[in-house]
Amino acid sequence: MPHLAFTAQLQRFTQTPDLQTTATTLGEALEAAFAINPQLRHYVLDEQGHLRPHVVVFIEGRRASDRETLTDALGPDDKVYVLQALTGG
Amino acid sequence: MNDRAWVATRKGLIELRRHGDAWKVARASFVGDPVSMVLPPDAGGRMFAALNLGHFGVKMHCSEDAGETWQEVAAPALPPQPEGAPGPAWKVTLVWAMERQGRTLYAGTLPGALFRSTDGAKSWQLDEALWDRPERPAWSGGGYDTPGIHSISPLADGTVLVGVSCAGAWITRDAGASWAQTAHGMRAEYMPPEQAFDPGIQDPHAIARCAAQPEVLWCQHHNGIFRSTNGGARWSELHAPLSSFGFAVAAHPVDPQTAWFVPAVKDQCRIPVDRALAVNRTRDGGASFETLRSGLPQQDCYDLVYRHSLAVAEDGVHLMMGSTTGGVWASGDGGDHWTALPARLPPVYAVRLG
């Protein structure tokens, strides 16, 4: 199953689950995390549901490309990292 | 309250306390995080701080004990953006202004939205009448890529005046049901001559109201200083010494003839004139100004006092200002003399007393 992890920087503000998920897209994986901690949503996504400009997601080492509808596909054993982009800091 | 001050900075919220004539740092909250605006405690100790986390967006925090402990509450957010909607993206990127009137909280944001909360920031309601104005998509940014509401002046009768960079000033007299432009008389020298007096393209850097005589308003504009004596219906230009360029204005809470400004060279050179920090004060409604320098750095000074960073207490006597290079100065005599805070702070976004 895909594995989703968040930057430790987020733990200053809210809890970040480290989870295995049956999701097949990035959006589904994020929703699984938000179901555990709803507050996390607005740290990662803006009010339009888009990735925040200075949040970056890597899927098996590839930068996620669909930042608005979050349709990047996940393979069964993909590792997904939600990180802070250097552009924001 | 004139012995407590709040300094919102690039790297935290700093609480200052005055003991006699000396101000000292009493506490720092949100250390390391940008605090874009602070609303001082009400009588019950409830206060708010707006954060602009570099990676993780705009956040709002509430304290019920005057800044001792904080809890995250709802931040203003725009509704889903209709496909093809003109203007900037419907995404709040900064809480630029916060005020309260009675139980109602107000937040002004980039991009150009006004929000209200009547439940202590558990939820926020967008002022749709202003957001839906047909002119709004054409509002331009001033200092930022998107337009923003930086000044909010609410009255108990439902009147609210907002200052927008860059869309002049807008007023509602029916608690937000309808809005009208109210920047007539302001002059924009950065526009083609035939558009100089267009109220919709004015860039008021800050607008402040005399609390005791609310029909009197002062505006530090991008290229001038303006005053209104009829609640914003008409503005008259004033001419201050050194420069009429600047960001900050503080209105005396009781005396409608008195206000303070902090001049800078010009928009192309945002530093104190002659690199010597000064405050311009008028006590005759803008007919004349005094330039006050005692206690302020008079050489090699690059401190710019931004639009929310000059504050006057309810007594009209205690003032404080903070700069983009982290200087803070306080006065206990209406600006005649200033004393530097013995601390080097991060860049200052806002100073509030109370």
CA B130 from chain centre, in angstroms, equals 19
CATH number reported for the structural domain that contains residue B343 in this entry? 2.130.10.10
pLDDT in tens, B197-235: 999 999 999 999 999 999 999 999 999 999 999 999 999
User: Which residue of B54, B57, B79 is in closest CB contact with A46?
Assistant: B57
Give domain status of residue B142, yes or no. yes
Give domain status of residue B307, yes or no. yes
Give the mean pLDDT of B119-132. 98
CATH 3.10.20.30 fits A3-88, yes or no: yes
**Contact: B90, A47; criterion CB under 8 Å:** yes
Peptide bond into B111 cis (omega under 30): yes
CA distance B201 to B218: 18
Give domain status of residue B205, yes or no. yes
**How many structural domains is chain B composed of?**
1
CA distance B288 to B233: 23
Give domain status of residue B71, yes or no. no
Give domain status of residue B262, yes or no. yes
Q: Which domain holds residue B325?
A: 87-353
Give the mean pLDDT of B247-268. 97
Give domain status of residue B192, yes or no. yes
Mutate to test the interface with A, among B33, B52, B56 (most CBs of A within 10 A): B56
Pairing label, strands A3-6, B236-238: unpaired
Q: How many CB atoms lie within 10 A of CB A15?
A: 11
Instruction: Give this prediction's pTM.
Output: 0.97
Does residue B144 carry a pLDDT above 70? Answer: yes
* Chain B residue closest in CA terms to A87: B55
pLDDT in tens, A15-59: 999 999 999 999 999 999 999 999 999 999 999 999 999 999 999
Q: Confidence band (pLDDT; 50, 70, 90) for B1?
A: confident
For chain B, percent of residues with pLDDT exceeding 70: 100
Give domain status of residue B16, yes or no. no
pLDDT in the model for residue B228 = 98
**Contact: B55, A52; criterion CB under 8 Å:** yes
pLDDT in the model for residue A89 = 63
